[in-house]
């Protein structure tokens, strides 16, 4: 989960209702302690220089934990109170959430790479040692240990990759919400619409990505290229308000070809 996101905040508040209070965060690890009162948790993005002042200024809200982000230079500050409050729990700024999510995804992928390289080196050394064991029984035991170690490492890598994938899914949503695609690799989807009475209003659909008109036929068929992170089903759903029930919309991935009959 992206630090400071509404999904994370909802989860932390569910745990707080069960009397498990957040007391610390290290990377993707959350530390809780059992308490007797029910807390309401809040999170906000704060410039690192202002975090000490925030801790001093808050009387009703106790600073429970912080998560530092180096780029941009901010901290996600988690506060909580066990007093009755009418303060609404709102997610942080989407642009800032996107930056935090990108940073977390990069850290997660770097961790995956380090684990994979370290595991390959370690398992290679173990295999070398096994091949130099003269005792057959010791060799079998060593191979069993190597096998279980490989399985454990595989599970760890899978969980780390899954966490990075979940972050990427949230990042895609934030990019669409903010229309911020800076630095993103976006595959080109080929969108074929037949028929259309006029050019598609791509400005109204810019949240999907970057549109470009490739070709149109005399019969009213249009071919657009769309650089996007959206799926084919998302694209078709977004185009429904701009088409009629009889309009045929085909979305072909960047590896695909034009629908049969396009050039006819």
- pLDDT band, very low/low/confident/very high, at 254 (cuts 50, 70, 90): low
User: What predicted TM-score, i.e. pTM, was given to this entire model?
Assistant: 0.59
Domain finish residue from 116, 149, 178:
178
| DSSP letter, residue 50 | G
- Examine the domain organization and report whether 20 and 82 are in the same domain: yes
Which tens digit of pLDDT belongs to each residue from 129-154? Answer: 777 776 667 667 777 877 888 888 88
Residue 72 has pLDDT above 70, yes or no: no
Domain finish residue from 26, 58, 91:
91
Q: What is residue 144's predicted lDDT score, i.e. its pLDDT?
A: 80
Question: What's the rounded mean pLDDT across residues 35-53?
Answer: 82
Q: What is residue 7's predicted lDDT score, i.e. its pLDDT?
A: 85
Domain finish residue from 48, 65, 91:
91
Number of folded domains in the chain? 3
Q: Identify the weakest region by mean pLDDT among 36-50, 90-104, 185-199, 207-221.
A: 90-104
- Examine the domain organization and report whether 218 and 239 are in the same domain: yes
- Examine the domain organization and report whether 85 and 11 are in the same domain: yes
Give dist(CA 181, CA 183) in Å, integer.
6
Which tens digit of pLDDT belongs to each residue from 182-222? Answer: 888 888 899 999 998 889 999 999 888 899 999 998 888 99
- What range defines the domain where residue 75 resides? 6-91
Q: Report CA-CA distances (Å) from 84 to 37, 80, 88, 92, 139.
A: 12, 11, 12, 22, 65
- Examine the domain organization and report whether 72 and 19 are in the same domain: yes
Cβ-contact 151, 199 below 8 angstroms: no
- pLDDT band, very low/low/confident/very high, at 23 (cuts 50, 70, 90): very high
DSSP string, 111-177: HHHHHHHHHHHHHHHHHHHHHT---HHHHHHHHHHHHHHHHHHHHHHHHHHHHHHHHHHHHHHHHHH
- Examine the domain organization and report whether 45 and 73 are in the same domain: yes
Q: What is residue 96's predicted lDDT score, i.e. its pLDDT?
A: 80
Q: What is residue 56's predicted lDDT score, i.e. its pLDDT?
A: 63
Residue 53 has pLDDT above 70, yes or no: no
Tokens representing 241 are 């308000």
261 lies in a domain? no
Question: What's the rounded mean pLDDT across residues 6-12?
Answer: 89
22 lies in a domain? yes
Give dist(CA 188, CA 180) in Å, integer.
17
CB atoms within 10 A of CB 51: 15
Can you name the residues that pair with 212 across neighbouring β-strands?
225
């Amino acid at each position: 989960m992206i630090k400071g996101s509404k999904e994370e905040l909802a989860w932390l508040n569910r745990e707080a209702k069960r009397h498990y209070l957040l007391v610390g965060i290290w990377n993707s690890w959350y530390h809780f302690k059992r308490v007797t009162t029910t807390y309401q948790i809040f999170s906000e993005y704060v410039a690192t220089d202002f975090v000490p002042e925030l801790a001093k200024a808050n009387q009703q809200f106790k600073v429970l934990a912080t998560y530092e982000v180096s780029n941009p230079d901010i901290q996600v500050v988690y506060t909580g109170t066990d007093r009755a409050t009418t303060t609404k729990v709102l997610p942080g700024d989407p642009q800032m959430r996107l930056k935090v999510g990108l940073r977390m995804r990069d850290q997660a992928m770097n961790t995956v790479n380090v684990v994979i390289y370290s595991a390959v080196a370690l398992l290679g050394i173990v295999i070398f040692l096994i091949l130099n064991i003269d005792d057959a029984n010791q060799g079998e035991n060593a191979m069993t240990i190597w096998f279980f170690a490989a399985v454990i490492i595989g599970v760890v890598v899978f969980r780390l990759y899954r966490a990075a994938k979940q972050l990427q899914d949230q990042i895609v949503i934030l990019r669409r919400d903010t229309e911020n695609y800076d630095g993103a690799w976006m595959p080109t989807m080929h969108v074929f619409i037949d028929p259309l009475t006029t050019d598609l209003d791509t400005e109204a659909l810019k949240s999907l990505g970057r549109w470009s008109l490739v070709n149109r036929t005399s019969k009213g068929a249009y071919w657009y290229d769309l650089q996007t992170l959206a799926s084919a089903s998302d694209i078709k759903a977004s185009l429904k308000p701009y088409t009629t029930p009889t309009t045929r919309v085909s979305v072909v991935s960047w590896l695909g070809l034009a629908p049969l009959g396009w050039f006819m």
